[in-house]
Structure 1
Amino acid sequence: MEPSSSAERTADPAADEPLAHRRIVFGIVSMALLMASIDQTIVATALNAIRGDLNAELTWSGWTITIYALGQIIVMPLAGRIGDQFGRRRVFLGAAVLFTVASLACSLADNIYLLVVFRAFQAIGGGAFMPTATGIVSEQFGRDRDRAIGMFTSIFPLGGIIGPIIGGVIVTYWSWREIFIVNVPIGILLIVLGLKFIPRGTPAPGARIDATGAALLALTLLFGMYGISSLGSSGASPADPLFIGAEVLAITLGVLFVRHANRHAAPIIGVNLLRGGGFGAMNSINFLFGAAVLGFGALVPLYAESRYGIQPLQAGTLLTARAVGMICLASLAVFALRRTGYRGPMIGGFLLVAGGMTLMSLAPHGLTPYGWLALAAGITGIGMGLSIPASNNAILQLAPDQISAITGLRGMFRQSGGIVAVSVTTTILAHSANGGLAQAHSFLVFAAVLLLIVPLTLLVPDHRGSW
């Protein structure tokens, strides 16, 4: 049968045979993804040093972290779609250049306002890595792309574990500026290797960017996430005019975006990727999963310190326990996906994470507080290792010519869920008499959210075998 579209014609050869340099390309894009992920958390260890050196207020210092998360949320879906339209290699290399230059600019900033601006540009580059790199991996591995994508997207959570450790070492022995300088030689290496080994893709013929749709989507996410993050960063209440105004603007712009997407011939994000053919259920799962898992992970060290008086360095290693559990199972889960399908690992993983969160909220039994929390964190890691590869691959095979766009949306929904969860939880903690106990209750809420996700997995098309 003759292919019905140019997208299918270009996809057919890649669907048959993996390409020769696929492992080198996998290493290149993995390095980029890990670097962008590390930069999400590495700055947290340097906030006090940044405040002292730049004579900055705490709120503005905190924005060096917040603006990076916001920038990534905005850029992920846009970069994915632009990569599908104009070539993933081009967008990936452009992102590498921007990330490297912005990192150098961050290291040279002489005031906090410039640092926040440069961090925003760094976020744009870092946010474009995940969707474009996933598309590049898909092109390289052909019939094995399901396994390659499962392994590749499991790299991203590791950055959140490694970042604080690397940041602590650099700040201790050098200064906060070296946190950004270290990206420069790595970024240059990425660009050189990318130019040599990543092949040129085939952009969609006659592709034009939907500038209006891109602007509406970006502004919707910006105002929505800014309003929510203001709850956590400033301790404002939901009745605060800033929060209400930002959310009203976000809802209005979101309605305009949906109307535009329904009417435009080639929208930046098609409405079918938001709610059609299993996408709506998976987008909801990703948002709730991000809220429960990313929000939970960000708050574990604080919980250990506030409820049990565990020292900060030891509290941080609880995330390492979770990472070990995740790594141990993720690689096995990836190679078992063709036999198990997606629903079973997702449901089993969500239940295990919920169980680990519930254990963490309870008082220790027969173990020291640290041992109890480490056990609970390890169980959540095993659950994440089981569920993340399946949830990363679910529904990708429904639109293989739009893998970058789908990956960008997945990242957007997960990161948005994480920001919502952290902001709401920290607002509640700011108004509670017993922060440790309030956090224990929040973990039970996160566990309940994961249980609510389970019925949604039945709406996601299951798949066994290769794509």
Structure 2
Amino acid sequence: MLDSQQTERYYQDNPTARTVVLIIVCISSFLTPVSLSGSFVAVPAISEDLHVNAVYASWIPASFLLSNLLMMLPAGRLADQYGRKRIFLIGGVLFSIGSLIAGFSQTIEMLLFSRVVQGISSAMFFTTGMAIITSVFQQGRGAALGWLVSSIYLGLTCGPLLGGWVTEHFGWQSVFWFPLPLTLIILVLAMLMMKGEWRSAQADRLDFIGTLYMAIGMTGTFIGLSVLPDWKAWLWLALGLAFIAIFIRHCYTVPSPLVRLNLVLGNKPFSRALAASIMVYASNYGLIFLLSLYLQYNRGMTPIQAGQVLMVQAVVMTLLAPLAGRLSDRYRPRLLATLGCLAMVAGLALLVFTVGPTTPIWLIVICLMAFGVGFGMFSTPNSNSVLGSVPPERLGMSSALLNLSRLLGQMLGTAVTTLLMSIMIGQAKITPEHYADLMEVVRWAVGLSLVFALAAAYFSKERPVAATA
């Protein structure tokens, strides 16, 4: 086994080995979004088969996101401490187990448990993959990250289409099973062809107390938002916000906190890039879930048809991300990221004024294309800006923080979606008498997404040129 310095020299002198690692990590990064986005179009079938209401249905993606969010920072710290390849492999094994459990689920509780397992393992899988790419590609990092982001968007592209197809022909259980063969191939390739290991000699030990504080805080806040306007929501919110405050204080008072907040906030390019990332993903994630329901319930589409419409955004992102990555190696990433945010604003503004029960599908496609241009122009330059502003020994945690910002945005978007569903539809199943309520949820969600996109443009525009922390 090569140590960290030998591993670095090996990949600097071996472009073929760098390419092999890039292929392995890109395929692994394809798996999570294809499984996640594929499950979106299966939600109506799952709801019907397991007899769940609208709030439980919204927890199918939410449980994955919340567990993924809670594991992201611990996974980054463990990867720096014990080795990024090791955590990568463990994550792949756990993801396979979670996928098997999901497909065999007979109750919503069992399904949600499996989604938690998938969320935890995906955090280990994805965080270490991005850190490995950044370590291997000392030159041309933007281009490599572009291919990585493109593989993620390719998963988002294929997910709705494949998910819709397998749901119609083999049942919703197959949505969770069809990524399994590819997962096993990745594990074998990583063990045989990914040489060496990456770990930090200066890595801090995992802060278990801080992790517990963060977990209670995030979980309480998310549950509180999801059950509003019930009175219990205020108890959950109070618990969550109190533990978030305790977590922040803890990070400033212990010698080796889970997150060194003083370093994060002191590095302006880093902190503002993270803020922009949170806003971008908040503007899009919950909305895509609702558009999936809107197309199937309000517009009468099949899962395949809805998947074909939704895949437009991901196709555009997939094609644009590698180009944006190369451009971010040559031009200021801030400019490219800001242009991406403005493209999203344009698409959402158009959707705000046009979405309704009879909106032409071609108009929705145009809006989704604008989202795709925005994401494609934003993601890779923003990632390059973040990872280029930190020292190599902090890449594991920096990659984790970047992915955490993505998940915080997704959780915020999902919490808003869950809150709107809870207020306007409640515990009822989505039946024809509730289609008008679902339409109102979509309208409100589009308006709030526009606000998030405008905030993302502000943070991206205000971010100064990256400098080493």
Which TM class, normalised by the smaller chain length? 0.7 to 0.9
Equivalent pair of 1:17/1:143 in contact (CA under 8 Å): no
DSSP 3-state at the match of 1:336 = helix
Q: Which residue in the other structure is 1:116 paired with?
A: 112
Match of 1:143 among 139, 142, 147: 139
Retained in 1: the 8 A contact 2:84–2:197? yes
Residues in 2 aligned to 1:75 and 1:388: alpha-carbon distance in whole angstroms = 22
**Which residue in 2 is equivalent to 1:330?**
321
2:207 and 2:258 in contact (8 A); partners too? yes
Equivalent in the alignment of 2:377 = 386
With over 3 angstroms needed to count, the CA separation of the structure-2 counterparts of 1:292 and 1:202, relative to structure 1, is closer
Shift, 1:100, TM fit: 1.3
Shift of 1:245: 1.8
Pair 1:431 & 2:424 matched: yes
1:349-371 residue CA offsets vs partner (Å, 9 max, x unmatched): 1111101111122349xx98122
Structure 2 counterpart of 1:332, one-letter code: L
For the residue of structure 2 that corresponds to 1:394, the secondary structure is: helix
Which runs of 5 or more structure 2 residues have no equivalent in the other structure? 426-435
Question: For the residues of structure 2 that align with 1:277 and 1:62, how far apart are their CA atoms?
Answer: 36
Give the conservation status (yes or no) of the 8 Å contact 1:68–1:120: yes
Per-residue deviation, 1:79:
0.9
Give matches, 1:311-390, under 5 Å.
Answer: 311-312=301-302, 313-363=304-354, 369-390=360-381
**1:159 maps to which residue?**
155
Which residue is 1:259 aligned to?
249
**Aligned counterparts, 1:44-193, within 5 A:** 44-50=40-46, 59-60=55-56, 62-193=58-189
Q: CA 1:119–1:446 in 2, change beyond 3 Å: closer, same or farther? A: closer
* Letter of the structure 1 residue corresponding to residue 221 of structure 2: G
- Residues 126-161 of structure 1 deviation map (CA, whole Å, 9 limit, x = unaligned): 122221001111222221223212321343243333
What is the 5 A alignment of 1:262-277?
262-272=252-262, 274-277=264-267
| Structure 2 CA distance for aligned equivalents of residues 105 and 440 of structure 1 | 35
Asked whether the equivalents of residues 325 and 380 of structure 2 are also in contact (C-alpha less than 8 Å), the reply is yes
Q: Pick from 290, 295, 310: which aligns with 2:281? A: 290
Q: CA deviation at 1:42?
A: 2.4
Distance 1:317 1:153, change over 3 A: same
List per-residue Cα deviations over 1:329-367 (Å, max 9, x = no partner): 222211111222111111111111101111122349xx9
2:149 touches 2:380 (CA, 8 Å); kept in 1? Answer: yes
Aligned partners of 1:300 and 1:104: how far apart in 2?
28
Report what 2:222 is aligned to: 225
Calculate the TM-score normalised by the size of structure 1.
0.85
State yes or no: 1:457 paired with 2:460: yes
Structure 1 SS opposite 2:336 = helix
Q: 1:3 maps to which residue?
A: none
Matched residue, 2:210: 213
1:425 is displaced (CA, Å) by 4.4
Judging changes above 3 Å, is the alpha-carbon distance between structure 1 residues 225 and 277 closer, same or farther for their aligned structure 2 residues? same
- Residue 273 (structure 1) shift: 5.1
Distance in 1, matches of 2:150 and 2:328, equals 14
Instruction: Please give the alpha-carbon distance, in whole angstroms, between the structure 1 residues aligned to 2:353 and 2:107.
Output: 44
CA 1:376/1:336 → structure 2, altered by over 3 Å: closer, same or farther?
same
Distance of aligned partners of 1:20 and 1:321 in 2 relative to their CA distance in 1, 3 Å threshold: closer
Contact 1:36–1:127 at 8 Å: present in 2 too?
no
For residues 250-276 of structure 1, the C-alpha deviation after alignment (integer angstroms, 9 at most, x for no partner) is 222122222222222222222135422
CA deviation profile, 1:198-239 (whole Å, cap 9, x unmatched): 2332433475322212222222222222322x24xxxx32xx
User: Cα gap change, 1:161/1:264 in structure 2, threshold over 3 Å: closer, same or farther?
Assistant: same
Q: How many residues align?
A: 450
Q: Is the 8 A contact 1:14 1:142 kept in 2?
A: no
8 Å CA contact 1:87, 1:200 repeated in 2 = no
Q: CA deviation at 1:401?
A: 2.6
Conservation of the 8 A alpha-carbon contact between 2:11 and 2:18: no
**How high is the sequence identity, in percent, across the aligned residues?**
24
Q: Give me the whole-angstrom Cα distance separating, in 2, the residues matched to 1:45 and 1:351.
A: 28
Contact kept? 1:171, 1:179, Cα under 8 Å: yes
**Alignment CA distance shift 1:157-1:327 (3 Å):** closer
> Offset at 1:73?
1.2
1:81 Cα offset (Å): 2.1
